[in-house]
Amino acid sequence: CLVLGFVTASVLVSSLSSWLVQVQMMKQEKIATMFKLRRFLRENGVSARLAGRVDQHVLARISINPRLKEEQVDALDLLTPTLRGELRYDMWSSFMLSSPIFRTWDHLDGKVTEAICMT
């Protein structure tokens, strides 16, 4: 029981450490990007007012985490076609059914929406 607790604690500490290192690396990447931008603006004599606006804009944009696209998630390639289709249907059916034409189409033949999502 003591060994199990030790192993569990070790795994937890390891996972937390890994996550913290990853967060730190992302933070360092943002800092390096902003440093390079500020250097560029300074070297090219950009006015302080405009440089401040550019800096704020880039900082806001760099902080946005864009949504992952399906093709960026390699693990999805491991799913069976049926399971992947179910996943797509779950993700997209509510969006599709918000359109009157798809809602009518789905009402007439419920398999159509499912088939569209599965492709």
Task: Please spell the DSSP secondary structure of 19-32, one letter per residue.
Answer: HHHHHHHHHHHHHH
Give the residue from 28, 36, 77 showing the smallest Cα distance to 54. Answer: 36
How confident is the model over 87-104, as pLDDT tens digits? 988 888 888 888 888 778
How confident is the model over 17-74, as pLDDT tens digits? 777 778 788 888 889 999 999 999 999 999 999 999 999 999 998 888 778 888 889 9
